[in-house]
């Protein structure tokens, strides 16, 4: 049990200075001047001069590793626990990418289970870039209904030279099957959509919203900030059709497409354009390959995404873009939790899971991270590492 005393609580909304008591992996009590009943083995954590935030949710992580677009030597490494918790992330959703052949659903589920045993909360999407989706049971709906950790489908590629070039009705069918799978299993039924550089951009999503009965909340297009044109199309999609847009934080504009928009900058652009702060999320594309292709579409270089970039872009949203902490936090806590239908994640409230980040109020440098009530990072040092991490 921990009593975090006198921190400024951002739930994400600003609740002011208060104490937060955790126990049994949950937030038990919040309030002013809670008694430090050390008799029950309560350990007090001093939150003075710090902000307390919900643990971050990263809804797009290649937990197995991804890549391979430059040949087998470019297959990226799998995710390590310390990469997650050092960046204040306490929930991840694992996905497959371009390589849906040697990266399998069986392997993805095993890795998700491993990370859950190591201390964070994990879910996965069924499928990969490809259409028809490569699933475990042979059907998207069955994977979502029968496999507890499967909360949706992704990352399904469209508007990309590496996609299966699906037709819009094939795409709509994937969203429909994912939605019904979610309805029948009480889960999100979210389709995580990989947006490439193709000129069709968000055309298929507009088709689903306008021509079917399916709501925009079953679709989350990611990499929206990969180009200025797509960023602008995403802003229009969010404003005109109530769509949700996800910005990738791993991309380092200094080393990738110069047309790329830094995620924190993209959030600023969207908010200034009038997009609701409830409709923008960040995800890291951690361990995903960040390939660079030349004008002829030839592979020209490769980077690897990092989960810790999620917190960096949230922090830059505040410190560089001047966005208030509540709006910056929503993009990485409450908003992904709402889309993923995880009621006990993404918010600081009694009964929620004790996934918490304590950081310096001025610099936002992370001090302490709790995942499911366990201290994983303390005074900036990772205390709990992965099984085979040195
Ligand atoms: C993006 C993951 C891309 C993998 O377009 O989609 O390739 O399978 O590991 N990465 N293909 C990176 C851009 C957003 C910069 C992936 C990658
Ligand atoms: Zn992608």
Q: Is the beta carbon of 235 within 6 A of some atom in ligand 1? A: no
In which band, very low, low, confident or very high, does the pLDDT at 80 lie, cut at 50, 70 and 90? very high
- Residues 200-248 have pLDDT tens digits of 999 999 999 999 999 999 999 999 999 999 999 999 999 999 999 999 9
How large a percentage of the chain has pLDDT more than 70? 97
- Residues 294-329 have pLDDT tens digits of 767 677 788 899 999 999 999 999 999 999 999 999
Q: Is the beta carbon of 75 within 6 A of some atom in ligand 1? A: no
Q: What mean pLDDT is predicted for residues 335-355?
A: 98
pLDDT at 255: 55
In which band, very low, low, confident or very high, does the pLDDT at 40 lie, cut at 50, 70 and 90? confident
**Residues annotated as part of the active site:** 285
CA distance 207 to 379: 49
From the number of C-beta atoms within 10 Å of its C-beta (0-12, 13-18, 19+), residue 298 rates as exposed
b vs e for 157-192, b when ≥16 Cβ sit within 10 Å of the residue's Cβ?
bbbbebbbebebebbbbbbbbbbbbbeebebbbbbb
CA distance 126 to 100: 10
**What residues contact residue 252 under an 8 Å CB cut-off, 6+ apart?**
290, 303
In which band, very low, low, confident or very high, does the pLDDT at 92 lie, cut at 50, 70 and 90? very high
**What residues contact residue 172 under an 8 Å CB cut-off, 6+ apart?**
204, 207, 208, 211, 212, 214
Ligand nearest to the backbone CA of 64? 1
Residues with CB under 5 A from ligand 2 (ion): 155, 194
* Residue 14 parent element (H or E): strand 14-23
- Residues 122-165 have pLDDT tens digits of 999 999 999 999 999 999 999 999 999 999 999 999 999 999 99
**What residues contact residue 243 under an 8 Å CB cut-off, 6+ apart?**
202, 205, 209, 216, 219, 221, 234, 237, 279
Ligand 1 centre and the CA of 291: distance in Å?
6
Q: Please state the φ and ψ torsions of residue 370, each to the nearest 5 degrees.
A: -110, 135
Ligand nearest to the backbone CA of 248? 1
Q: Is the beta carbon of 367 within 6 A of some atom in ligand 1? A: no
* Residue 225 parent element (H or E): none
- Whose Cα sits closest to atom 2 in ligand 1? 288
Ligand 2 centre and the CA of 42: distance in Å?
43
119, 372 contact by CB (below 8 A):
yes
CA angle 168, 229, 236 (to 5 degrees): 70
95, 192 contact by CB (below 8 A):
yes
- Name the residue of 77, 97, 108 whose CB sits within 8 Å of the most ligand 1 atoms, as the mutation to test its pocket: 97
Atom of ligand 1 at shortest range from CA of 194: 6
Q: Is the beta carbon of 336 within 6 A of some atom in ligand 1? A: no
CA distance 244 to 8: 29
Tokens in use for 229? Answer: 């044109």
**Neighbour count for residue 101 (Cβ, 10 Å):** 11
Q: Is the beta carbon of 5 within 6 A of some atom in ligand 1? A: no
CA distance 219 to 3: 38
pLDDT at 293: 65
Q: Range with the lowest mean pLDDT among 32-36, 85-89, 337-341?
A: 32-36
């Amino acid at each position: 049990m921990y009593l975090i005393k006198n921190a400024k609580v951002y739930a994400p909304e600003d609740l002011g200075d208060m104490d937060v008591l955790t126990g049994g992996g949950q937030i038990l009590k919040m309030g002013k001047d809670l008694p430090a009943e050390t008799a029950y083995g309560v350990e007090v954590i001093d939150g003075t001069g710090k902000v307390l935030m919900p643990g971050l949710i990263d809804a797009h992580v290649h937990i197995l590793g991804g890549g391979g677009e430059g040949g087998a030597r470019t297959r990226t490494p799998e995710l390590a626990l310390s990469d997650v918790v050092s960046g204040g992330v306490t929930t991840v959703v694992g996905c497959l990418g371009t390589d849906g052949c040697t990266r399998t659903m069986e392997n993805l589920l095993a890795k998700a289970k491993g990370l859950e045993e190591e201390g964070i909360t994990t879910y996965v999407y069924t499928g990969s870039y490809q259409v028809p989706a490569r699933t475990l049971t042979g059907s998207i709906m069955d994977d979502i209904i029968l496999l507890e950790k499967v909360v949706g489908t992704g990352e399904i590629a469209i508007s990309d030279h590496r996609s299966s070039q699906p037709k819009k009705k094939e795409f709509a069918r994937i969203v429909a099957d994912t939605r019904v799978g979610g309805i029948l299993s009480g889960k999100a039924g979210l389709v995580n959509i990989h947006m490439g550089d193709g000129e069709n951009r968000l055309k298929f999503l507009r088709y689903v919203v306008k021509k079917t009965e399916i709501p925009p909340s079953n679709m989350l297009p990611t990499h929206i900030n990969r180009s200025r044109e797509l960023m602008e199309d995403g802003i229009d999609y969010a404003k005109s059709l109530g769509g949700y847009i996800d910005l990738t934080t791993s991309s380092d504009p200094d080393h990738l497409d110069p047309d790329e928009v830094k995620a924190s900058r993209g959030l600023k652009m969207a908010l200034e354009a009038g997009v609701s702060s409830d409709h923008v999320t960040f995800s890291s594309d951690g361990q995903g390959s960040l390939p660079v292709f030349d004008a002829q579409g030839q592979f020209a270089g490769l980077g690897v995404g990092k989960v810790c970039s999620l917190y960096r872009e949230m922090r830059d949203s505040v410190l560089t873009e001047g966005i208030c902490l509540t709006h910056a936090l929503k993009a990485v806590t409450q908003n992904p939790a709402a889309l993923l239908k995880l009621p006990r994640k993404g918010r600081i409230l009694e009964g929620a899971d004790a996934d918490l980040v304590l950081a310096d109020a001025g610099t936002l440098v992370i001090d302490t991270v709790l995942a499911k009530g366990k201290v994983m990072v303390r005074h900036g040092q990772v205390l709990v590492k992965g099984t085979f991490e040195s």
